[in-house]
Amino acid sequence: MRSTNRSWMKKSSLAFSFALLFPFSFGWVGDIALQFASLATTRAYPVTVNSQDLMKSYQARKLTVLIVPGHDNIDPGAAFGDVSEADINLTMTKYLLERFGNDANIHASSARDVVSGDYSPEIKTYIAEEKEDIDSWSKILRALATYYRENNALKPEALVHHNSANPRVARVLYGINRWANEHDIDVVLHVHFNDHTRRARSRPGNYSGFTIYAPHEGLPNGRASQELAQSIFDRLNDRFPVSDLPGEHLGVTPDAELIAVGANGSREKVSFLIEYGYIYESQFKDPEVRDKIVREMAYQTYMGVKDFFEAHALERARETTLIPYVFTRDLARGAKNDPDILHLQGALNAAGFYPPSGKTLNRCPINGSFGPCVERAVKSFQSAYGINTTGTVGPQTRAKLNERFSSSGASTTAPAE
């Protein structure tokens, strides 16, 4: 089904064509073209979607969500050791599809097959058959955006520098935006893991944490996309660190350059891109721990979407895949890549003990390793319950943990200290 809100694009294209007939040095010609394109508004792009539109779609029919696993079989994206971004993106998409697929109010699909990594037949065929139209369309959009910026009708602030997409990738991303517009897709969610320049590719970089790139509010889908992205951010922020890269530290990072979020007015409804973390972070190194972390991130992403549309009765601390959990053995400092410790960190986080006071999740990530951060949190937990503060999980501490966290009905409210 084709979206009906296309008048702004037709008028802008006509205005741009008119302006090309005359030199831009004739200021009045440019002014008339600009006024015609913006229809007496100060915006270069009229708003094409708002939160009320999303809510109506959710209530009237199934909300349509297209998940786009970043990169593909030709361009695998970032890598660290044997960890491939393209592979994690597909795993994340698989778990997102499972969550959304169990929701009667949402219809979710993926732009790529989560096993083979190939683009879906429909999107692959569309991009191949519409190749020339996609290229022409994107060229006009880029020219219009340049014209708007030069005439001060569009002043997006670039917070983070991005590498330019190569022509093939740009065509794919513009093609997905155009396909999503024509099929009236409510939400397009791009899945990525971040990377940063490192002195040695075998060593971790300096930055950590997640961010959500949403379109600048000057773009047609900006405000609504930012509002839904903020709801997801609030969920992820409970258990995962926010990126400490300057610009990404906002959590929801407005952007006008990323094609994925609708650069140059290429997306009519909601789009955003989640960088779930830096690929070299410790929680992504071990396969078993990574899988549990990705499941939790997918769950919190889904719950963030639900928060936007519905009020939840359960407190957010309870809504995690890391508890309930039964602890069956002693745990002590020095252990690494241990699922039991991952669940311990999740339980202590839900109860308000982790990260320990004065620390952040950037310095004390939930990663399955028992270091000084976990030791301090365990001591706080032990102190709160009158247990000898050894900083290790022995029989008494394990019994109290199981009392608190081994059943879905257990309370997670931390006692007064």
Q: Return the domain boundaries, the chain.
A: 51-309, 316-405
Whether pLDDT at 268 is above 80: yes
What is the share, in percent, of the chain residues with pLDDT greater than 70? 86
* 137 and 174 Cβ atoms separated by less than 8 Å: yes
Q: Determine the pLDDT at residue 161.
A: 84
d(CA 83, CA 85): 7
Whether pLDDT at 69 is above 60: yes
What residue type is 170 in one-letter code?
A: A
Nearest to 181 by CA among 4, 370, 388, 347: 4
Q: Determine the pLDDT at residue 153.
A: 80
Whether pLDDT at 149 is above 70: yes
Q: Determine the pLDDT at residue 156.
A: 74
Query: Pairing between strand 211-215 and 79-80?
Result: unpaired
Q: Determine the pLDDT at residue 140.
A: 94
Q: What is the CATH number of domain 51-309?
A: 3.40.630.40
pTM across the whole model: 0.89
DSSP for 82-115 reads TEEHHHHHHHHHHHHHHHHHT-TTEEEEESB-TT
Whether pLDDT at 144 is above 50: yes
Segment 12-33 mean pLDDT: 44
Whether pLDDT at 5 is above 70: no
Query: Pairing between strand 211-215 and 252-255?
Result: parallel
Segment 270-291 mean pLDDT: 97
What spatial distance separates the first Cα and last Cα of the chain, rounded to whole Å?
A: 58
Query: For 47, what's the count of Cα atoms within 13 Å in the CB-facing half-sphere?
Result: 11
Helix, coil or strand: residue 69? strand
d(CA 128, CA 111): 14
Check residues 100 and 147 and name the one with the higher pLDDT: 100
Q: Which two tokens stand for residue 285?
A: 């190194």
Q: Which two tokens stand for residue 44?
A: 């270069």
pLDDT tens digit string along 41-68? 457 899 999 999 999 999 999 999 999 9
The pLDDT-based confidence of 39 (bands split at 50, 70, 90) is very low
Whether pLDDT at 18 is above 60: no
Same CATH topology for 51-309 and 316-405: the answer is no
Whether pLDDT at 150 is above 80: yes
Q: Which two tokens stand for residue 150?
A: 């030069």
The pLDDT-based confidence of 317 (bands split at 50, 70, 90) is low
* 196 and 278 Cβ atoms separated by less than 8 Å: yes
pLDDT tens digit string along 162-220? 888 899 999 999 999 999 999 999 999 999 999 998 877 788 999 999 999 999 999 99
Q: Determine the pLDDT at residue 28.
A: 37
Q: Determine the pLDDT at residue 99.
A: 96
Q: Determine the pLDDT at residue 100.
A: 97
d(CA 248, CA 118): 30
Q: Determine the pLDDT at residue 319.
A: 87
* 268 and 49 Cβ atoms separated by less than 8 Å: yes
Count of residues making up the chain: 417
Q: Determine the pLDDT at residue 318.
A: 66
Superfamily of 316-405 according to CATH: PGBD-like superfamily/PGBD (1.10.101.10)
